[in-house]
Amino acid sequence: MNTTEDIFPKGQQLPNDWFVGNAFLTPLVTKDKNNEFSAGSVTFEPGARTNWHTHPKGQVLIVIEGSGFYQEKNSPAKPINKGDVINIPEDIEHWHGASATSKMIHIAITNFKDDISVTWLNPVTEEEYKSVQ
In degrees, to the nearest 5, what angle opens at C-alpha 15 toward C-alphas 85 and 69?
30
Collapsing DSSP to helix, strand or coil, 131 comes out as coil
List phi, psi (to 5°) of 4.
Answer: -70, -15
pLDDT along the chain (133 residues), means of 10: 71 94 97 95 98 98 98 96 98 98 97 95 95 87
Identity (one letter) of the amino acid at 96? Answer: H
Q: Which residues of 69-79 are buried (b: 16+ CB within 10 A; e: fewer)?
A: bbbeeeeebee
Greatest CA separation found in the chain?
Answer: 43
The rounded distance, in Å, linking the Cα atoms of 122 and 106 is 22
* The predicted structure's pLDDT at residue 4: 53
* The predicted structure's pLDDT at residue 72: 97
* The predicted structure's pLDDT at residue 1: 44
